[in-house]
């Protein structure tokens, strides 16, 4: 076929979303296989480490509940320390999944199909970690249910003016919707697994969760409709949840917290850290499970670009805060920011600045954003930076506020550190279990983006080869 | 609801009606509504107005569904009194007048008791020498009573013995010609004096020394030097225009007449209008003291050099021909002269008797005697200085001439100068009897130890500073059976038999009250706490002075002072006192060697701040072959080439209390301050080891060497110099500036949305009256809103003495957390006194900053930022305008504390109330909840006092009297710096104070509308020393 007869407009060539000439069955095989065979030994090693960390987390929580919040470094004036930093950190990470599956779905970004399943799983596990921290950080954890609007004889309701209460609703709604979205998206794949299952017990379980899926046209129709609706429902939540988290700070009157830029700045930061975490996890998973053809270097490069974009936005916000502090001419505000950059926590501030603003700038260079080792290192650096961002916001604002007489310093304790490290145990254990038992890539959706799934694919003798 | 045909059936005969009253017959809707309810309106309604029965149905159904049957509360038995003690109504406090012996002076008090348990100390408001105020030590003395480490048993050479064994000893010593010596703590008790005379008759040649741990009573000795008799000065600061203090911390918490001095001084500093007069205070001192913080001119000088300043002033006044006065001395002297007798000059306890004598002479010359200084004849013979009598006694002891040594409430093994080698001398005495509250250093070395009663447990008497006879009556039987009072022990020793303290005191008072009906006069005295018109006579003796002032010694000096929080160590085992921040350094749980920045530099010493704690160089201080080790503290404003230390630390008290031991995962043993032995043991260093033979307060020629080690120091505040321009927290002006613009404090204040609206609280009552959200009348018609509480704090009179902090702690059951947790920033004091260093102009920042104190309770903001952020509404606004903390509801998110711009909220990081010992539990105020771990707490404006007063007024069917409610801090404050009351009452003290032109609100620009106002500080500088412009 000569090109002269082709009337279609040539767009710049998009790289294929799936490489390696994979067919439908190849994809099914490649993904399902890992839930059926014995996992690789590296999986067992990882599980051993992460479940140990999980045990440490449980021990730390028991120690905390037995003795009281004093086992942490919190004090007066720094009422919120690491637990809240960790909360915001994990909520932030829990952002990427729903963004990828909902917003990118609505924008028809088809490259999302390779990564959305594991990103959503990561979201759910990160939100579980996030929910843990505000729960255990209260002084009397046994009455945490008072934050829920439960009817009682005193007609005592939660206080709806409090941003913490908004948090309770925002995060729990986000968690519920993300979970449902994730599960609904997984139904066709669960049915695939059910059909492949050799063991009756497994088949029954998968059969229950695949909701009687038979791949009928009606099923697909309903499925697509539901998925679209859920995506539309989840989209505002992606923006709202971190905006609400930012209200915890922005609604207060503390210099350094009382900032109107917080909602967009927090959302950008969350996407930034979420993508970094997806990168960290997937760079490992694609390698270990040999699915480099499904999650290709092009996928990673796209994520790197988003990281560059959001990192720059976050950096812009940092600088804007300084400008506004100067422009406001408010002594307390000016001091709060000066103290961040030059005070006793300046080291944390400069870690934050370099990790979040400086490092992602290397992604301007194409060679670097396509370099797996560089991506991996940067993704970790970004998450370190984002943890420090929350630390800087929470601790440096509190430790020196209006009256110099109450200024103090915050020192974390070993319990603070082990609880945070332990939360990675919870996260990774859940993620490893996910990798072991559930399809880590959305097979159905990846198949949809194969050129073969185009109904007209075979119409004019187009071969499977790449378009010229 | 449930319909039953029997009930719902219409009445058959409609013509015949039974009616109860006219409104009933008329079908008055109000009555119908009332009659239809089971109970009176509001009694059974929920806030939204739904029915109780309805709720019960729901509750019953859910109970039934839940099938909840297994839970059972633990059984508790309430034991009623089989006979009700006279006057005792459970839950209603009784107040008794009593008195506490404080450094030899009776401090008249009113002690509050609940169900036979004293829980709070106040000043006796009716006493001629007191007002309702009280100091740190009076407040803290309550916890002394409940000290779990108090000695409980009589000990003979360390083993338990009985009172009968002691009686046997007393009988034995009656026989034969025994030489007895008594070392007694200073006490003004007439009963003890009577027994002393008896002792001296019974045992001829007996030695009696009033032993003071701080050394000679220089004030009395000084006056004795020029007047030839033991006199006591009363300073009337209120009448003075010029006051000069030569190292005299007369406003300090440990001043013997501090309560009077503070009250009187504060009167001379109150400014209500532009034309009010204000005194001028000059202070020359070596360390920064409470008095120094209020000085209009403060000069830091070595204590040794201050006699030189006295000399210069004296020579200007023409008393001495000596040194030519420098500019400072000349200005002071000229100012004194111009005051026409309305002036006074006084010397401090660090100054030798000669300086005191010289000051008295200057007062004489200036015409101050009779105007601002009254001299009282204390009716005691000439004093022999302790520095003379005590070494003599030791010599006699060493020579074996003393058969029996009785030590009443003193601890010389701990605080006598070690060069005197008192323990060695003690071992040469056959019987040494120690009577004290604790098994302390002296008790362990004595052959006998008798537990001493606390003043709230035993009968006693005394004389206040002005000499008024005062009775100390007990409120509770001794907690420990063996405990005896000083007079009981003394009487037993003299007579060989035991008589009750009550009888001993009555015996003394019989001749005093002889011209009246004894029983009724005695009862009247007990009720009032004092006997009218029994003060010392004022005298105006002729003065003659030929003493010579010692020439100053320029070597490095060391100055010993009483500690402002634990005194001479007698309050060292008191948790409240140990955790009380030093008024100036804000150090807790430690003593330090305070030096100036320059001295520190000279010796290459540093005190590094790192991560919330200070790491101070430890130095060795050596003199006369003795040495001690102390961490240093660098205090701006301290004089160079001098070191200040405080006494009372480094105690070793024994206890029989078991140690708390918990498994490794339970931190109770770490967080319980009482877990490991006594509180005092191991805290700080005993400095008396370095004192010279005469126990002089100033020691020269001290060697200071660095050890190279570091010690962690914990403070409740960080160091910091405040730039007043940028943060207008403390607002100040000079008197001239104030005269020009009395409202200077509001200059340049940022506008707030409320500043152009109605006054802050005006619309508040209507809000509650007309727009109350609740439907139930019980909520809506609560008339709490009729009072609007507020507070005003006058920065011009606050000395930072800490009395308010301890009063608050005692009133509100505030727990003590220990050095480590204070270091972690977790102290619980609801009220703190913020100390700011303040420099103006180009002054060398380190050398001469001013210090300003700012008490900081909860500001009870109208737009409280804490209230809106609590997710469970655990902190809410009351109808009467207080910001309330509902402990039961609090889940401990700490968001409120974060959002408080004043950072006055305190959090229970651990279960501190769980581990408090049984006796300390008895000290808790039953009207204030004990807080569990994990909840927030903070100043409540003493809401329990407000409600108690309202309840009392309600029972008496009357409105609240004007200014009837007083908060604990306000009541304790001798300077009357704190005014509290009802803002709705235009004539209340607080409303008047609110109208004071100096008023300003802290951080008003945040529009939180605080209910606490501050009155800006005004200085009255001498223009000769500080030219205007």
pLDDT tens track for B695-737 = 889 999 899 999 999 999 999 987 655 555 578 888 889 999 9
Which of B5-19, B606-620, B875-889 has the least mean pLDDT? Answer: B5-19
Q: Check if A418 contacts B (Cβ < 8 Å).
A: no
Structure confidence at residue B516 (pLDDT)? 80
Domain extent, residue B635, equals 563-571+582-713
Would the CB atoms of B825 and A409 count as touching at under 8 Å? yes
Q: Are residues B140 and B167 in the same domain?
A: no
Structure confidence at residue A466 (pLDDT)? 47
Instruction: Tell me which chain A residue has its CA closest to the CA of residue B1002.
Output: A403
HSE, CB side, 13 Å, CA atoms: give it for residue B236: 12
Q: Are residues B14 and B119 in the same domain?
A: no
Average pLDDT over residues B808-826: 93
Would the CB atoms of B865 and A252 count as touching at under 8 Å? yes
Judged by CB atoms within 8 Å, which residues 114-143 of A form the interface with B?
134, 137-140, 143
Would the CB atoms of B825 and A158 count as touching at under 8 Å? no
Mean pLDDT of chain B: 86
* φ, ψ (nearest 5 deg) of residue A139: -70, -35
Long-range contacts of A153-160 (CB under 8 A, 24+ apart): A153/B46, A153/B55, A153/B59, A154/B46, A155/B46, A155/B47, A155/B48, A156/B873, A156/B889, A157/B873, A158/B871, A158/B872, A158/B873, A159/B868, A159/B870, A159/B871, A159/B872, A159/B873
Q: How many residues does chain A have?
A: 468
Supply B804's token pair: 């308010």
| Residue B582: CB atoms within 10 Å | 23
What's the pTM value of the predicted model, to 2 decimals?
Answer: 0.88
Percentages of chain B per state (helix, strand, coil), in multiples of 5: 30, 20, 50
Structure confidence at residue B845 (pLDDT)? 52
- Say which residues have a Cβ less than 8 Å from residue A362's Cβ, sequence separation at least 6: A368, A369, A374, A378
Task: Of B135, B144, B354, give the one whose Cα is nearest residue B256.
Answer: B135
What CATH number corresponds to the domain at position B373? 3.40.228.10
User: Which residue from B872, B897, B907 is facing A159, i.e. has the nearest CB?
Assistant: B872
Structure confidence at residue B444 (pLDDT)? 92
Greater pLDDT, B563 or A455 = B563
Q: Write the pLDDT tens digit of every residue in B555-589.
A: 899 999 999 999 999 999 999 999 999 999 999 99
Q: Which residues of B touch A164 (CB under 8 A)?
A: 869-871, 893, 895
N-terminal to C-terminal alpha carbon distance within chain A: 11
Supply B612's token pair: 């919330």
- What is the distance in angstroms between the Cα of A58 and the nearest Cα belonging to chain B? 14
Q: Which residues of A touch B898 (CB under 8 A)?
A: 77, 79-80, 252, 254, 398
Structure confidence at residue B576 (pLDDT)? 94
Determine the distance from the C-alpha atom of residue A364 to the mean position of all C-alpha atoms in its chain, rounded to a whole number. Answer: 23
Structure confidence at residue B10 (pLDDT)? 58
Burial class (CB in 10 A: 0-12, 13-18, 19+), B89: exposed
Judged by CB atoms within 8 Å, which residues 358-377 of A form the interface with B?
none
Which of A347-351, B154-158, B747-751, B994-998 has the least mean pLDDT? Answer: B747-751
CA distances from B142 to B100, B575, B809 (A): 10, 11, 11
Q: Are residues B388 and B330 in the same domain?
A: no
Residues of chain A with pLDDT > 90, as a percent, come to: 51
Q: Which residues of B touch A411 (CB under 8 A)?
A: 611-612, 824
Q: Which residues of B touch A154 (CB under 8 A)?
A: 46
Q: Is B104 helix (H, G, I), strand (E, B) or coil?
A: coil
Q: Write the pLDDT tens digit of every residue in B641-673.
A: 999 999 999 999 999 889 988 999 999 988 999
Q: Are residues B10 and B125 in the same domain?
A: no
Q: Are residues B274 and B194 in the same domain?
A: no
Residues of chain B with pLDDT > 70, as a percent, come to: 89
Would the CB atoms of A252 and B905 count as touching at under 8 Å? no
- Does B542 map to a domain? no
Task: Of A22, A32, A294, A24, give the one whose Cα is nearest residue A189.
Answer: A32
- Does B859 map to a domain? yes
Would the CB atoms of B893 and A137 count as touching at under 8 Å? yes
- Does B387 map to a domain? yes
d(CA B264, CA A238): 67
Instruction: Tell me which chain A residue has its CA closest to the CA of residue B714.
Output: A408
Model confidence at A468, in pLDDT bands (50, 70, 90)?
Answer: very low
- Does B647 map to a domain? yes
Q: Are residues B59 and B201 in the same domain?
A: no
d(CA B559, CA B119): 37
Task: Yes or no: say if B247 and B285 are a contact pair by the CB < 8 Å rule.
Answer: yes
- What is the distance in angstroms between the Cα of B665 and the nearest Cα belonging to chain A? 7
Q: Which helix (H) or strand (E) holds B34?
A: helix B29-36
Single out the residue in B681, B696, B713 at which a domain terminates.
B713
Instruction: Tell me which chain B residue has its CA closest to the CA of residue A164.
Output: B871
Q: Write the pLDDT tens digit of every residue in B114-131.
A: 888 899 999 999 988 888
Structure confidence at residue B59 (pLDDT)? 74
Q: Are residues B358 and B477 in the same domain?
A: no
Would the CB atoms of A159 and B871 count as touching at under 8 Å? yes
Q: Are residues B945 and B898 in the same domain?
A: yes
Average pLDDT over residues B70-76: 58
The overall longest dimension of chain B from CA atoms, in Å, is 117
Q: Are residues B208 and B222 in the same domain?
A: no
What is the count of structural domains for chain B?
6
User: Which residue from B892, B899, B909 is facing A253, i.e. has the nearest CB?
Assistant: B899
Q: Is B878 a residue whose pLDDT tops 60?
A: yes
Would the CB atoms of B826 and A70 count as touching at under 8 Å? yes
Q: Check if A339 contacts B (Cβ < 8 Å).
A: no
Average pLDDT over residues B350-354: 90
- Say which residues have a Cβ less than 8 Å from residue B463's Cβ, sequence separation at least 6: B105, B106, B188, B190, B469, B470, B534, B536
What domains appear along chain A, each with residue ranges and CATH number?
Answer: 23-450 (1.20.1630.10)
Bridge-partner residues for B937, per DSSP?
A: B906
Q: Which residues of B touch A344 (CB under 8 A)?
A: 611
Would the CB atoms of B666 and A331 count as touching at under 8 Å? no
Task: Yes or no: say if B801 and B583 are a contact pair by the CB < 8 Å rule.
Answer: yes
- Does B590 map to a domain? yes
- What is the distance in angstroms between the Cα of B234 and the nearest Cα belonging to chain A? 36
Task: Yes or no: say if A382 and A273 are a contact pair by the CB < 8 Å rule.
Answer: yes
Q: Are residues B742 and B687 in the same domain?
A: no
Greater pLDDT, B619 or A116 = B619
User: Which residue from A163, A331, A398 is facing B726, i.e. has the nearest CB?
Assistant: A331
Instruction: Tell me which chain B residue has its CA closest to the CA of residue A345.
Output: B611
- Does B490 map to a domain? yes
Greater pLDDT, A459 or A147 = A147
What CATH number corresponds to the domain at position B446? 3.40.50.740
- Does B545 map to a domain? no
- Does B745 map to a domain? yes
Q: Which residues of B touch A85 (CB under 8 A)?
A: none
Q: Check if A320 contacts B (Cβ < 8 Å).
A: no
Q: Is A233 helix (H, G, I), strand (E, B) or coil?
A: helix
Q: Is B381 a residue whose pLDDT tops 90?
A: no
Structure confidence at residue B757 (pLDDT)? 46
| Residue matched to tokens 């063996």 | B482
Interface contacts (A, B; CB < 8 Å): 191
Burial class (CB in 10 A: 0-12, 13-18, 19+), B810: buried
Q: Are residues B407 and B481 in the same domain?
A: yes
Structure confidence at residue B116 (pLDDT)? 84
Structure confidence at residue B115 (pLDDT)? 83
Give the orientation angle of helix B327-338 with respect to helix B303-316, to 10 degrees: 50
Model confidence at A434, in pLDDT bands (50, 70, 90)?
Answer: very high
Would the CB atoms of B718 and A404 count as touching at under 8 Å? yes
Q: Are residues B202 and B262 in the same domain?
A: no
Average pLDDT over residues A368-389: 92
| Residue matched to tokens 């009981």 | B488
């Amino acid at each position: 076929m000569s090109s002269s007869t082709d009337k279609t407009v040539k767009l710049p060539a998009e790289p294929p979303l799936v490489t390696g000439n994979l067919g439908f069955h190849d994809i099914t095989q490649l993904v399902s296989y890992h839930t059926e065979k014995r996992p690789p030994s590296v999986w067992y090693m990882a599980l051993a480490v992460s479940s140990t960390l999980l045990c440490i987390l449980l021990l730390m929580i028991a120690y905390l509940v037995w003795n009281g919040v004093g086992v942490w470094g919190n004090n007066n004036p720094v009422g919120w320390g690491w637990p809240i930093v960790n909360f915001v950190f994990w909520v932030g990470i829990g952002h990427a999944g729903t963004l990828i599956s909902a917003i990118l779905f609505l924008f028809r970004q088809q490259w999302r199909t390779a990564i959305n399943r594991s990103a959503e799983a990561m979201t759910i596990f990160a939100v579980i970690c996030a929910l843990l921290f505000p729960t255990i950080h209260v002084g009397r954890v046994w009455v945490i249910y008072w934050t829920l609007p439960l009817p009682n004889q005193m007609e005592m309701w939660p206080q709806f003016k409090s941003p913490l209460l908004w948090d309770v609703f925002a995060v729990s709604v986000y968690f519920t919707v993300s979970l449902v979205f994730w599960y609904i998206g997984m139904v066709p794949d669960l049915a695939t697994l059910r059909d492949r299952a050799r063991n009756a017990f497994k088949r029954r379980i998968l059969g229950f969760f695949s909701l009687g899926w038979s791949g009928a046209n009606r099923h697909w129709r309903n499925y697509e409709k539901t998925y679209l609706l859920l995506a539309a429902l989840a989209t505002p939540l992606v923006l709202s949840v971190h905006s609400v988290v930012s209200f915890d700070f922005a609604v207060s009157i503390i210099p350094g917290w009382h900032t109107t830029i917080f909602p967009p700045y927090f959302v950008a930061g969350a996407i930034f850290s979420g993508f970094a975490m997806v990168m960290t996890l997937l760079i490992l998973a694609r390698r270990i499970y040999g699915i480099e053809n499904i999650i290709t270097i092009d996928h990673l490069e796209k994520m790197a670009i988003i990281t560059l974009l959001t990192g720059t936005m976050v950096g812009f916000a940092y600088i804007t805060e300084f400008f506004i502090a100067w422009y406001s001419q408010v002594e307390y505000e000016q001091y709060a920011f000066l103290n961040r950059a030059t005070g006793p926590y300046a080291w944390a501030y400069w870690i934050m600045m370099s990790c979040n603003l400086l490092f992602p700038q290397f992604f301007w260079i194409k060679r670097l954003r396509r370099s797996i080792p560089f991506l991996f290192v940067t993704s970790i650096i970004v998450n370190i930076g984002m943890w420090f961002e929350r630390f800087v916001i929470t601790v440096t604002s509190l430790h020196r506020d209006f009256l110099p007489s109450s200024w103090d310093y915050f020192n974390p304790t070993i319990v603070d550190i082990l609880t945070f490290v332990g939360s990675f145990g919870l996260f990774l254990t859940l993620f490893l279990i996910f990798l072991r038992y559930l399809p880590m890539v959305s097979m159905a959706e990846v198949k949809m983006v194969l050129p073969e799934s185009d109904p007209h694919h075979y119409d004019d003798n187009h071969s499977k080869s790449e378009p010229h | 609801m449930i319909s039953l045909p029997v009930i719902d059936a219409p009445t058959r005969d409609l013509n015949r009606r039974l009616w109860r009253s006219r409104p009933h017959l008329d079908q008055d809707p109000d009555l119908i509504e009332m009659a239809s309810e089971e109970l009176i309106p509001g009694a059974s309604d929920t806030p939204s107005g739904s029915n109780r029965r309805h709720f019960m149905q729901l509750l019953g159904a859910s109970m039934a569904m839940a099938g909840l049957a297994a839970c059972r509360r633990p059984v508790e038995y309430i034991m009623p009194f089989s006979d009700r003690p006279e006057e005792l109504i459970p839950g209603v406090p009784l107040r008794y007048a009593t008195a506490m012996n404080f450094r030899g002076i009776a401090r008249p008090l009113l002690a509050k008791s609940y169900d036979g348990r004293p829980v709070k100390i106040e000043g006796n408001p009716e006493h001629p020498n007191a007002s309702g105020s009280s100091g740190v030590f009076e407040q803290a003395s309550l916890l002394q009573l409940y000290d779990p480490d108090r000695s409980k048993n009589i000990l003979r050479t360390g083993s338990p013995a009985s009172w009968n064994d002691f009686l046997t000893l007393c009988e034995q010593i009656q026989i034969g010609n025994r030489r007895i010596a008594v070392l007694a703590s200073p006490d003004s008790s007439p009963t003890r004096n009577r027994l002393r005379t008896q002792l001296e008759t019974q045992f001829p040649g007996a030695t009696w020394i009033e032993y003071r741990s701080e050394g000679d009573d220089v004030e009395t000795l000084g006056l004795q030097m020029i007047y030839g008799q033991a006199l006591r000065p009363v300073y009337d600061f209120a009448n003075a225009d010029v006051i000069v203090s030569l190292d005299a911390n007369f406003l300090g918490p440990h001043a013997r007449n501090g309560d009077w001095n503070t009250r009187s001084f504060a009167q001379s500093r109150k400014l209500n209008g532009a034309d009010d007069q204000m005194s001028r205070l000059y202070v020359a001192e070596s360390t920064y003291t409470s008095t120094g913080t209020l000085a209009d001119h403060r000069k830091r000088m070595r204590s040794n050099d201050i006699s030189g300043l006295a000399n210069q002033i004296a020579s200007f006044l023409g008393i001495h021909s000596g040194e030519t006065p420098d500019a400072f001395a000349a200005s002071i002297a000229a100012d004194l002269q111009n005051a026409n007798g309305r002036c006074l000059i006084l010397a401090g306890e660090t100054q030798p008797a000669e300086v005191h004598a010289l000051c008295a002479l200057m007062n004489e010359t200036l015409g101050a005697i009779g105007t601002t200084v009254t001299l009282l004849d204390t009716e005691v013979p000439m004093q022999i200085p302790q520095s003379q009598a005590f070494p003599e006694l030791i010599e006699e002891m060493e020579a074996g001439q003393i058969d029996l040594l009785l030590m009443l409430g003193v601890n010389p093994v701990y605080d006598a100068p070690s060069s005197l080698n008192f323990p060695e001398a003690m071992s040469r005495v056959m019987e040494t009897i120690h009577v004290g509250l604790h098994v302390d250093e002296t008790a362990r070395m004595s052959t006998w130890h008798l537990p001493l009663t606390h003043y709230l447990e035993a009968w006693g008497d005394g004389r206040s500073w002005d000499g008024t006879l005062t009775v100390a009556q007990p409120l509770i039987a001794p907690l420990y059976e063996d405990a005896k009072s000083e007079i009981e022990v003394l009487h037993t020793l003299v007579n060989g038999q035991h008589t009750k303290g009550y009888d001993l005191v009555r015996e003394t008072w019989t001749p005093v009250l002889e011209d009246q009906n004894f029983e009724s006069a005695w009862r009247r005295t007990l009720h009032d706490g004092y006997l009218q018109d029994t003060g010392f006579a004022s005298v105006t003796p002729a003065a003659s002075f030929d003493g010579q002032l010692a020439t100053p010694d320029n070597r490095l000096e060391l100055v010993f002072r009483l500690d402002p929080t634990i005194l001479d160590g007698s309050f060292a085992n008191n948790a409240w006192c140990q955790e009380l921040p030093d008024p100036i350094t804000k150090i807790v749980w430690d003593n330090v060697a305070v030096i100036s920045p320059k001295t520190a530099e000279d010796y290459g010493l540093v005190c590094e701040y790192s991560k919330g704690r200070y790491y101070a160089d430890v130095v060795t201080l050596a003199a006369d072959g003795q040495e001690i080790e102390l961490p240093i503290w660098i205090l701006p404003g301290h004089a160079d080439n001098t070191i200040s230390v405080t006494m009372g630390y480094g105690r070793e008290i024994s206890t029989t209390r078991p140690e708390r031991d918990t498994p490794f995962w339970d931190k109770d043993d770490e967080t319980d301050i009482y877990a490991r032995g006594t509180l005092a043991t191991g805290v700080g260093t005993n400095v008396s080891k370095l004192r010279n033979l005469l126990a002089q307060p100033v020691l020269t020629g001290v060697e200071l060497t660095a050890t190279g080690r570091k010690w962690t120091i914990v403070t409740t505040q960080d160091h910091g110099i405040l730039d007043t321009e940028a943060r207008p927290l403390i607002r100040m002006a000079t008197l001239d500036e104030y005269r020009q613009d009395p409202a200077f404090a509001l200059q340049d204040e940022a506008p707030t949305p409320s500043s152009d609206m109605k006054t802050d609280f005006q619309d508040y009552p209507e809000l509650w009256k007309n727009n109350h959200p609740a439907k139930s009348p019980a909520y809506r018609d609560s008339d709490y809103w009729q009072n609007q509480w507020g507070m005003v704090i006058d920065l011009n009179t606050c000395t930072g003495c800490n009395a308010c902090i301890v009063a608050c702690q005692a009133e509100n059951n505030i727990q003590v957390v220990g050095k480590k947790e204070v270091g972690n920033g977790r102290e619980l004091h609801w009220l703190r006194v913020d100390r700011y260093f303040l420099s103006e102009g180009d002054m060398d920042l380190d050398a001469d900053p001013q210090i300003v104190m700012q008490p900081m309770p909860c500001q009870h903001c109208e737009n409280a930022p804490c209230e809106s952020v609590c997710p469970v509404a655990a902190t809410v606004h009351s109808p009467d305008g207080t910001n309330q903390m509902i402990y039961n509801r609090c889940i401990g998110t700490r968001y409120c504390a974060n959002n408080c711009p004043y950072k006055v909220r305190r959090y229970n990081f651990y279960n501190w109330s769980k581990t408090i010992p049984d006796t300390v539990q008895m000290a808790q105020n039953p009207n204030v909840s004990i807080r569990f771990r994990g909840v927030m707490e903070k100043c409540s404006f003493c809401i329990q006092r407000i409600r108690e007063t309202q309840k009392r007024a309600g029972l008496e069917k009357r409105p609240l009297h004007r200014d009837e409610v007083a908060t604990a801090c306000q009541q304790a404050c001798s300077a009357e710096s704190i005014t509290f009351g009802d803002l709705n009452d235009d004539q209340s003290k607080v409303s008047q104070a609110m109208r004071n032109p100096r008023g300003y609100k802290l951080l008003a620009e945040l529009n939180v509308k605080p209910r606490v106002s501050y009155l800006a500080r005004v200085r009255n500088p001498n223009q000769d020393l500080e030219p205007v412009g």
